[in-house]
Amino acid sequence: VHVVATAGHVDHGKSTLVRALTGTDPDRLEQERRRGLSIELGYCWTELDGVGEVAFVDVPGHEKFIATTLAGVGPVPVTMFVVAADDPWMPQAGEHLAALDALGVRHGVLVVTRADLADPAPALARARVELDRTSLRGAPSVVVSGRTGSGLGDLRAQLAAVLTDVPAPDPEAAVRLWVDRRFHVPGAGTVVTGTLPAGTVSVGDTLVAGDDEVRVRGLESLEIPRDRVSGVARVALDLGGRAPDDLGRGSTLLTPGAFSPTVLVDVRLSGDAEVPERPVLHVGAALTGVHVRPLGARLCRLTLDRALPLRIGDRAILRDPGSRTLWGVLVLDPAPPALRRRGAAAARARALEAHDGSPLAELRLRGVVRRSLLERAGAPLDPLPAGTVTAGDWLVGPELAEELRARLTRLVGTTGALDDGVTPAGAANALDLPDPALVSALVAPPLRSDRGRIVKHGRPALPPELAAAVDAVRQQLAEAPFAAPDAGRLAELGLDARAVAVLHRRGHLLRLGDGVVLLPGATERAVAVLRALPQPFTTSEARQALGTSRRVALPLLAHLDRIGRTVRLPDDRRRLRGTRPS
Ligand SMILES: Nc1nc2c(ncn2[C@@H]2O[C@H](COP(=O)(O)OP(=O)(O)OP(=O)(O)O)[C@@H](O)[C@H]2O)c(=O)[nH]1
Ligand SMILES: [Mg+2]
């Protein structure tokens, strides 16, 4: 299915052309037919040779209905721009064209109609000039009469040619249906219609509408019931009896979890006029008041009166209803950071200025960011730039990763002569990173992870005074392996708590508890001694067999309990695991 929206000045013959092409009158309302004026959006369809079904959204041209007009053209990628041969270039033609340009509409046909009433050449020439200043430059043109039918064959052929060039949207894309009509069907329930720009809706789907979820009970496109429809399409969804009250024109129906509706968005504007503080934003079929905060030349932050599911790259229209001026809006960031410090707005403008929409620029703009957030914001992430660091849901772009790695290396380097390294949690804290897993992911030579700490690659041997202290302890324990040096002796050797902790971590000493230090092999030697005892044994029996004091025996036995070599019984006796009572 293709979708085409009309545009053009009031009374220039849009609805007449749609009727001539489709056989259906887009003006459904009694009042519209009586006054010969479109008020609401009209929906008709036809088939064109070579391209199949084409739906038309016929918009009103009268300036009073501009909001309806913009809701009609907002989500539609192709225009049929209609100009009367017997009238000069008119204000609404200019306004509609500016809106199409703001939305970046590139596909369309320029139709000069009512050619039975006047020479079409001047109108065509003028319209050509106007279109060539916009995104529609180079669009093909045809001259027709909706009254006599002359030129209609040519129009069908031109439309078909243009539609063939429109790229097919991704059927796998997330659904964002811009609702433009709601009505009640007796016996069925609430039906909403809208333009589906991309993605696929199927009967049975659950979609999100504001804070509510709705079920798609039935689905029609072009008046034919279907099981599934992919965009671009006009669709009518039967939501049964339980649709939310506020679901109507300007609402969206979304794939659950795929969007983050936002009230804050950073955008780039096109158009030279100065923007008022309180204009109106038109996006898709939606409309909301906004507050504009300028950040820099053509860059500003919009605060929306209500949240909308905006994505990076969305195009929209900012409009001042008073002066009827409008600006094109390109969404740069629908999840922008708060601007708190002085000068933050200018810094933000510089960052946005340097933003070219590439995955690399996306990551540069956001620093440390959740992938899920970027996906909901519609950021291009495929492929991730080389050198991007990932950890769980977190992403860090290559440049920031490089900088963080350098800071991490310096941090590890400042841990002193012991080169004791840092823990990921400690480093995350020091580097202000949200997750220690990110620190671990940043580790690369000359850093490496060693038993839960990040240390420098090829760290140096122990400093000489520590090596000497270890030797002294080794000598002392060689004869009596469980006669741990006392506090005075440790102090004499310069082994304070921190040094002992490092030597323990690096496997030189076994630290059992406050101030009790043995050699790493002590555990196995103790097990060998205890094995010779009748099982189970008391603490006192163990102490005597090991030839040591309670000061050492108690933490040693507790250590053996902890590592599962001994089992402590309710009566406080122990046995070695794997032995039977003797
Ligand atoms: N002679 C002649 N009259 C036409 C032609 N096309 C439209 N008209 C007449 O022009 C008037 C306006 O036509 P519409 O098709 O309603 O115009 P519109 O652009 O849809 O107008 P709005 O929806 O109100 O903006 C009607 O009276 C039509 O009958 C044409 O090709 N030749
Ligand atoms: Mg009309």
Instruction: Read off the pLDDT of residues 99-125 as tens digits, 9 standing for 90 and up.
Output: 999 999 999 999 999 999 999 999 999
Please give the average per-residue pLDDT across 223-249, as a whole number.
91
Each residue's pLDDT tens digit, 172-214? 999 999 999 999 888 778 999 999 999 999 999 999 999 999 9
* Whether the CB of 38 sits within 6 Å of ligand 1: yes
The pLDDT, as a whole number, for residue 415 is: 53
Ligand 1 centroid distance, CA of 10 (Å): 9
Q: Which value, to the nearest 10 degrees, does the dihedral of the CA atoms of residues 412, 414, 416, 417 take? A: 80
Ligand 2 centroid distance, CA of 27 (Å): 7
Query: Which of 344, 371, 366, 343 lies closest to 354, judged by CA?
Result: 366
The pLDDT, as a whole number, for residue 119 is: 97
Which residue's C-alpha comes closest to atom 9 of ligand 1?
A: 13
Q: Say if residue 582's pLDDT is above 80.
A: no
The pLDDT, as a whole number, for residue 148 is: 94
**Tokens representing 37?**
């004026």
The pLDDT, as a whole number, for residue 508 is: 83
Which residue's C-alpha comes closest to atom 23 of ligand 1?
A: 38
Ligand 2 centroid distance, CA of 22 (Å): 14
Rounded Cα distance, 529 and 413, in Å: 43
- What is the atom index within ligand 1 of the atom nearest the CA of 62? 25
Band of residue 461 on the pLDDT scale cut at 50, 70, 90: low
Residue 467: partners with Cβ closer than 8 Å, 6 or more residues away:
461
Ligand 2 centroid distance, CA of 61 (Å): 7
Q: Say if residue 295's pLDDT is above 70.
A: yes
- In the chain, the percentage of residues whose pLDDT exceeds 70 is 98
Q: Say if residue 464's pLDDT is above 90.
A: no
Per-range mean pLDDT, top range of 126-130, 318-322, 473-477, 565-569 = 126-130
Q: Say if residue 304's pLDDT is above 90.
A: yes
**Among 158-162, 233-237, 339-343, 415-419, the least confident range:** 415-419
Ligand nearest to the CA of 34: 1
> 466 near 382, Cβ under 8 Å?
no
* Whether the CB of 117 sits within 6 Å of ligand 1: yes
Query: Which of 435, 312, 332 lies closest to 377, judged by CA?
Result: 312
Q: Where are the alpha helices (DSSP H) in 38-90?
A: 66-73
The pLDDT, as a whole number, for residue 479 is: 82
Ligand 1 centroid distance, CA of 114 (Å): 8
**Among 76-90, 188-202, 503-517, the least confident range:** 503-517
* Whether the CB of 25 sits within 6 Å of ligand 1: no
* Whether the CB of 554 sits within 6 Å of ligand 1: no
Q: Say if residue 416's pLDDT is above 60.
A: no
Instruction: Determine the residue of 9, 10, 11 to mutate for testing ligand 1's pocket, defined as the one with the most ligand atoms within 8 A of the Cβ atom.
Output: 11
Q: Say if residue 460's pLDDT is above 60.
A: no
Ligand 2 centroid distance, CA of 341 (Å): 52
* Whether the CB of 146 sits within 6 Å of ligand 1: yes
Ligand nearest to the CA of 9: 1
Please give the average per-residue pLDDT across 250-273, as a whole number.
93
* Whether the CB of 160 sits within 6 Å of ligand 1: no
Q: Say if residue 418's pLDDT is above 60.
A: no
Ligand 2 centroid distance, CA of 18 (Å): 9
- List, in sequence order, every beta strand (DSSP E) within 298-349: 299-308, 315-320, 325-333
- In the chain, the percentage of residues whose pLDDT exceeds 90 is 72
Band of residue 231 on the pLDDT scale cut at 50, 70, 90: confident
Rounded Cα distance, 514 and 559, in Å: 13
For 125, the 3-state DSSP assignment is helix
* Whether the CB of 116 sits within 6 Å of ligand 1: yes
* Whether the CB of 13 sits within 6 Å of ligand 1: yes
**Tokens representing 330?**
């390109």
Instruction: Determine the residue of 15, 41, 63 to mutate for testing ligand 1's pocket, defined as the one with the most ligand atoms within 8 A of the Cβ atom.
Output: 15
Please give the average per-residue pLDDT across 472-489, as a whole number.
89
- What is the atom index within ligand 1 of the atom nearest the CA of 114? 31
> 482 near 522, Cβ under 8 Å?
yes
For 399, the 3-state DSSP assignment is helix
* Whether the CB of 19 sits within 6 Å of ligand 1: no
Ligand 1 centroid distance, CA of 456 (Å): 80
Q: Which residue has the higher pLDDT, 255 or 420?
A: 255
* Whether the CB of 37 sits within 6 Å of ligand 1: yes
- What is the atom index within ligand 1 of the atom nearest the CA of 59? 23
Ligand 2 centroid distance, CA of 495 (Å): 92
Which residue's C-alpha comes closest to atom 12 of ligand 1?
A: 11
* Whether the CB of 14 sits within 6 Å of ligand 1: yes
> 213 near 207, Cβ under 8 Å?
yes
* Whether the CB of 60 sits within 6 Å of ligand 1: yes
Band of residue 459 on the pLDDT scale cut at 50, 70, 90: low
How far from 56 is each of 15, 26, 105, CA to CA, in Å? 10, 9, 16
Please give the average per-residue pLDDT across 495-518, as a whole number.
86
Q: Say if residue 322's pLDDT is above 70.
A: yes
- Tell me: cis bond preceding 446? Omega within 30 of 0 counts: yes
Please give the average per-residue pLDDT across 369-375, as a whole number.
93
Please give the average per-residue pLDDT across 502-514, as a whole number.
84
